Amino acid sequence: MANYAWVLEVRPGYEDEYKKRHDEIWPELVEDIRAAGLRNYNIFRYGLTLFGYFECDDLDRAIVELGKSDANRRWGEFMGPIMKIETDTLRNFSFLLPLQFHMD
């Protein structure tokens, strides 16, 4: 199992809306995320900065599976206007942060 992290931003004034939308996340999206192999997925916010963390055995497979998900596509359209999103165009996925330290 490998762990991954990303950083994005919520647009100013949309902090509460971002939280509300995730409090009401679509069950089919959660199912698709799990089916793609992501586990222990967490998102934290500091000011406008969002920090996501998840674990996954096969990231390349997960990206392919999420790319097939209609719920994931619709969620991206739904969230896009309230976020500043930078995507790694080679993977069509959020830029992942390089691991700097790990302690068991």
For 11-53, write each residue's pLDDT tens digit. 999 999 999 999 999 999 999 999 999 999 999 999 999 999 9
Whether residue 79 lies inside any domain: the answer is yes
**Residue 102 designated active-site:** no
CB 7, CB 51: distance < 8 Å: yes
pLDDT band at 1 (very low <50, low <70, confident <90, very high): confident
Phi, psi of 31 (to 5 degrees): -60, -45
Q: What is the mean pLDDT of residues 58-76?
A: 95
Q: Which domain holds residue 57?
A: 2-94
Pick the catalytic residue: 19, 20, 22, 39? 22
Whether residue 86 lies inside any domain: the answer is yes
Tell me how far CA of residue 50 lies from CA of 7, 23, 45, 55, 56, in angstroms: 5, 15, 5, 17, 19
pLDDT band at 87 (very low <50, low <70, confident <90, very high): confident
Whether residue 52 lies inside any domain: the answer is yes
Whether residue 66 lies inside any domain: the answer is yes
Whether residue 101 lies inside any domain: the answer is no
Residues 6+ apart with CB under 8 A from 41: 33, 52, 53, 54, 55
The pTM for the full model equals 0.89
Domain count, the chain: 1
CATH of the domain at 38: 3.30.70.100
